[in-house]
Amino acid sequence: MAATPIPLIEVSGTHREVGQQIGERMRPNLRRVLTRLRENLPPGVTWQDMLLKGWLCLAHSRAAYPHFVEELEGIAEAADLPFEEVFLAICEELWEPTAWHAGVPTLARGCTDFAARGQATVDGAPLIAHTNDLDPEAEEDLVILKVKAWNEPEFIGMSVAGLGFSAGFNAAGISMTGNAVSCSDIRPGVPRLLIARAILASRRLGEAMDACLLPLRASNYNNVIGDANGEIYSMEGSATDCESIYIDENGENVMVHANHYVSFPMRRFEANRNYIGGSILRHNRAMRLLRENYGRLSPTVFQELLADHANYPASICKHGGATVTVFSIIISPNTLRAWIGRGRPCQTTYYEYILEPWSLPSDWPE
């Protein structure tokens, strides 16, 4: 199955029309995902509890991103599903026991990010690479969405059943990958998956950074954002704080991140300090791989690095445990290209995806 490309769906129109096209094409996948979510609630929490807290998040989301909420309404309409359940499905932080002040540890799902530019890459161009670790069942519902919504830059985004985006890039040269971090301050607010959607709609890096810093957020990822100029930041966030880590902070033009907080100001938000060993190993291994391949990093070399098996099966290319690597992606923001592979990187075939450059519309509001 790893050699089979992930399905690609192209959608366009208003945000509601985009959502309706996604809902129509992904109807069986959406139903399957919602069933899995119902069967895996946090300890002691009912579906009604989830819906009530979801409504609080919805109120914040309508205030911050009404057009993205409309997109989700379109998905629910076309898939013939209750909107409140579709919206709840993107509130993934509500499935973490920390959101309910429970003492059960939240085990990070995984994901490892690499970034390089300048002297580190073979041609000086920026490159970002990412592995995405999820429940094995999620692989059958993966989809690549090519989205042209309203007058936003067209983007290519990785999604499970059309419910949010975990990685992608847009025609303005903005890239977005990142990592789940276990933050201790989850609260009612805008779900982090809507923040990821806003990053992919950004026309410049400053807008992507503003999305990471949204005051009304419920939680946050460590969002790795970059642009065609090679400006790359690791936005290490929680619900109430965020530290921006610049790629040149170590003077090497390389950066890595896994699933624990690495900046001193953010370490106090680590909810699971006793469960980050695997993340620490992947983080340090990724940095070593970048240094060992310094000056020759390319999309082809990154395909090899993403297949690394140090600490197997809980390696960068993850094969065992509650989660496995379900896809990997390498992004070249300045050429508007990405290479995406299904399943474990050591077994996959990478396929190339390209966007046409985007120009700022004359009627875009300043």
Residues 19-48 as b or e (16 or more Cβ within 10 Å = b): bbbbbbbbbebbeebbeebeeeebeebeee
Q: Which amino acid is at 244?
A: S
Looking at residues 17-26, what average pLDDT do you find?
Answer: 98
pLDDT of 108 reads 55
The amino acid at 18? V
Of the three residues 47, 69, 97, the one that is the final residue of a domain is 97
Per-residue tokens: 357 = 């450059």
Range of the domain at 334: 112-354
- Residue 52 binned pLDDT confidence (cut-offs 50, 70, 90): very high
What is the mean predicted confidence (pLDDT) over 19-27?
98
pLDDT tens, position by position, 168-192:
999 999 999 989 999 999 999 999 9
Residue 232 covered by a domain: yes
CA 155 to chain centre: 14
Residue, of 99 and 250, whose pLDDT is higher: 99
73 and 190 together in one domain: no
pLDDT band of 366, cuts 50, 70, 90: low
Same domain, 19 and 77: yes
Going by C-alpha positions, the residue among 240, 282, 38, 232 that lies closest to residue 120 is: 232
Of 50, 69, 97, the position where a domain reaches its end is 97
Contact 270, 105 (CB under 8 A): no
Q: 269-285 as b/e, with b when 16 or more CB fall inside 10 Å? A: bbbbeebbebbebbbeb
The whole-number average pLDDT for the span 89-117 is: 86
The residue-averaged pLDDT of 233-246 equals 98
Between CA 317 and CA 310 the distance in angstroms is 9
* Chain segment 337-350, per-residue pLDDT in tens: 999 999 999 999 99
For residue 244, give both structure tokens.
């921006």
CA distance 191 to 88: 9
Q: Above 70 in pLDDT, residue 364?
A: no
Residue 365 in any domain: the answer is no
Q: What is the mean pLDDT of the chain?
A: 95
Confidence at residue 107, expressed as pLDDT on a 0 to 100 scale: 57
For residue 104, what pLDDT band results from cuts at 50, 70 and 90? low
Whether residue 83 lies inside any domain: the answer is yes
For the segment 106-112, the average pLDDT, to the nearest whole number, is 73
Per-residue confidence band for 110, with pLDDT thresholds at 50, 70 and 90:
confident
- CA–CA gap between residue 272 and residue 275 (Å, rounded): 5
Given 72, 97, 122, which residue is the final one in a domain? 97
Q: Is the domain of 90 the same as that of 118?
A: no
* Domains held by the chain: number: 2
Q: Indicate whether 280 and 244 sit together in one domain.
A: yes
293 & 144 share domain: yes
Does residue 256 contact residue 297 with C-beta atoms inside 8 Å? Answer: no
Q: Is the pLDDT of residue 305 over 60?
A: yes
Distance from C-alpha of 287 to C-alpha of 282, rounded to nearest angstrom = 9
The answer to whether 105 and 80 have CB atoms below 8 angstroms apart is no
Shared-domain flag, residues 163 and 245: yes
Pair (139, 242) in one structural domain: yes
pLDDT value at position 1? 62
Q: Crossing angle, helix 66-79 and helix 47-64, to 10 degrees?
A: 130
Task: State residue 191 phi and psi, 5-degree precision.
Answer: -60, 150
- For the chain, report the end-to-end CA distance as a whole number of angstroms: 46
* CATH number for position 146: 3.60.60.10
**Rounded CA gap, 147 and 26, in Å?**
14
Q: What is the pLDDT of residue 106?
A: 61
173 in the same domain as 61: no
Three-state DSSP class for 262?
coil
For residues 18 and 23, give the distance between their C-alpha atoms in angstroms, rounded to a whole number. 9
Sign of CA dihedral 253, 115, 106, 325: negative
In a domain, 360, yes or no: no
In a domain, 104, yes or no: no
Considering the domain boundaries, does residue 102 fall inside one? Answer: no
277-286 mean pLDDT = 97
Residue 72 has a pLDDT of 98
| Domain presence at residue 363 | no
Q: Are residues 84 and 156 in the same domain?
A: no
Q: Are residues 274 and 333 in the same domain?
A: yes
> Do 172 and 80 lie in a common domain?
no
Give the Cα separation of 11 and 21 in Å (integer): 6
- Does the residue 364 lie in any domain? no
pLDDT value of position 320: 87
Q: Do 273 and 333 belong to one domain?
A: yes
